[in-house]
Amino acid sequence: MFRVRRVLPALLFAAVPLCALAAPDFDRDAWRADYATLKQALERDYANLAWIGSTQSGVDLPALDRQTRRALDSAENDAQAEQAIRDFVAGFHDGHFSFLTTLQTGAAAAEPASVDLTAADAASGCAALGVGAGGHPGFSLPFESLPGFKLLSDGMDQPLRTGLLTTPQGPRIGLLRLPEFAPTAYLGLCRQVWQQLRSEDSADDMRDALMDALADAVATALQGFAAAKADLVLVDVGNDPGGNDSGDVLTRLFTTRPVHSAPLLVSQSPAGTAYLDEQLHRLTGALQEHHPDPAARRLLRQSTAAFQQSRRSAGDAPCDLSWTWSERRDWNAMPCRRLVEAGSSGGPLDYLPADAIADMTIAHRLNWAQDVRAHWGAWTGPVYVLTDAKTYSSAEMFAARMHDNGIARTVGVRTGGDGCGFMVASPPTTLPHSRLRLRMPNCVRLRADGSDEVAGIAPDLPVLPQSGESDRARAWRLLQTVGADWRTRHGGG
């Protein structure tokens, strides 16, 4: 009896609803209002909502909503309520839809005086530009440790990490590591070309010039593989977090065939409208200020008309996406996704021949890959692109464009699934009670099959981690997989 009496109060205590035990200063209704605000912002601004709400996405959004509401109903304090909202965001599996640092209120500090980088030495100047500040990411697999590997360029003091791999009865492989699609990842390259960079007018111009130098370095590496009689090129974008539009642009260096950028859609939101306005300004500026020849004028007018139509569509009454919280629908059958056409991931035109427009300024405003047209087709042989679960964003764009244009086969693991992020900067969503701040993607890149790139890029040749297998063993197995596929498809060996 003594033990029973001791247990009964505990049982009675456990039967009390959790909401009755909440901390005295915990405002559940305010957290529920924050959650409602977040869902309204998603309906209004989030470019991927229709895809996430589709049956094809793999995300059960109605179930996620129910789970979040239950978690808020049972939360006992602010920490648990915040975790419920964080779990909701994580359930989208979209790395671009994410939390930002919560800001403190108070007076902001004044901007410091600008720094003149033109007098800086290479080490100081590159550091001031932020080059190498994030550290060099670990590459996906340790190919350098395998038999038959020869290092050509270390990617630290030299511009890129490259090497040649020869395996028994296998092809001669040119290995190109791309740790990031942003110039600030390439410290050796920055130091090498600093004398050219310091002649630029601003830090932004220096970064643009460094991006041009990166394209030059990739082209040089590819030409080196050809000179070394490599049978194929393996481009490693494992652990690559993305970066900028070079994930689309650089694909042209791997083939002489026409390469088409992905259809680009922007959210029917202020951010999407801002991007459309930006492109219209650039197109009309080219028409009015750069004296285009008749062929260029025709293309500029066509692109301007397309963006003007999209701008009108952006001003239409948006469709209601609140259904996403209660049901799932077929992506391909949706009459409205609250998205607006915005040219391509490579600019207003998805393709423009290298010799179509002589004026580089006009050519660039139509198709951004024109910036590197001197390097198109630096390599023309077989290509494989290595991806892993930490391949994101612009690196996914690279893998998708290489695959969808028939340039490369993908090998490894499905990518992380960030897809398109931000075509223009836009203010984050701030939840009124908690002050949590979130960024929401304002663009969508479509695959060749019409799906949203945020789903991730599945490899043509899966090479998944296996229990008891070392990274070196998996690297060797991946090379064997690539070699076997190359022999089958290209008759090698």
Specify whether 396 is located in the same domain as 489: yes
Per-residue pLDDT tens over the stretch 182-222: 999 999 999 999 999 999 999 999 999 999 999 999 999 99
Specify whether 171 is located in the same domain as 246: yes
401: in domain: yes
In 195-276, DSSP assigns E strands to: 232-236, 263-267
474: in domain: yes
Q: Terminal CA-to-CA distance of the chain, rounded, Å?
A: 83
231: in domain: yes
Specify whether 147 is located in the same domain as 185: yes
20: in domain: no
Specify whether 171 is located in the same domain as 220: yes
What are the distances in angstroms from CA 283 to CA 191, 226, 296? 35, 38, 11
Looking at residue 111, what DSSP letter applies? P
Specify whether 383 is located in the same domain as 248: yes
How much is the pLDDT for 55? Answer: 98
Mean pLDDT by 10 residues, the chain (493 residues): 35 40 85 99 99 98 99 98 99 98 86 89 94 72 96 91 90 97 93 95 94 97 98 98 96 98 98 98 96 97 99 96 98 98 99 96 98 98 98 98 99 98 96 98 98 98 97 97 96 68
Specify whether 134 is located in the same domain as 233: yes
Domain containing residue 394: CATH number: 3.90.226.10
How much is the pLDDT for 275? Answer: 99
How much is the pLDDT for 135? Answer: 59
List the structure tokens of 202. 């601003």
Specify whether 76 is located in the same domain as 144: no
93: in domain: yes
* Nearest alpha-carbon partner for 176 in 143, 135, 146: 143
Per-residue pLDDT tens over the stretch 116-128: 898 899 999 999 9
Specify whether 127 is located in the same domain as 92: no
Domain boundary among 42, 64, 99: 99
Specify whether 137 is located in the same domain as 77: no
- Residues pairing with 294 in the sheet: none
> In terms of C-beta density within 10 A (0-12 exposed, 13-18 middle, 19 or more buried), how is residue 148 classed?
middle
Specify whether 387 is located in the same domain as 246: yes
353: in domain: no
How much is the pLDDT for 244? Answer: 95
List the structure tokens of 311. 């701008």
Specify whether 247 is located in the same domain as 383: yes
- Contact status, residue 117 vs residue 203, Cβ threshold 8 Å: yes
How much is the pLDDT for 4? Answer: 35
* Nearest alpha-carbon partner for 401 in 200, 201, 260, 234: 260
Q: What is the pTM of this model?
A: 0.93
> In terms of C-beta density within 10 A (0-12 exposed, 13-18 middle, 19 or more buried), how is residue 8 classed?
exposed
* Distance of alpha carbon 390 from alpha carbon 384, whole angstroms: 17
How much is the pLDDT for 493? Answer: 57
Structural domain tally of the chain? 2
How much is the pLDDT for 134? Answer: 62
What is the domain range of residue 177?
122-252+377-418+463-493
Specify whether 44 is located in the same domain as 127: no
Domain boundary among 67, 99, 131: 99
372: in domain: no
131: in domain: yes
What are the distances in angstroms from CA 242 to CA 179, 203, 493? 8, 21, 35
Residue 130 Cα to chain centre, angstroms:
20
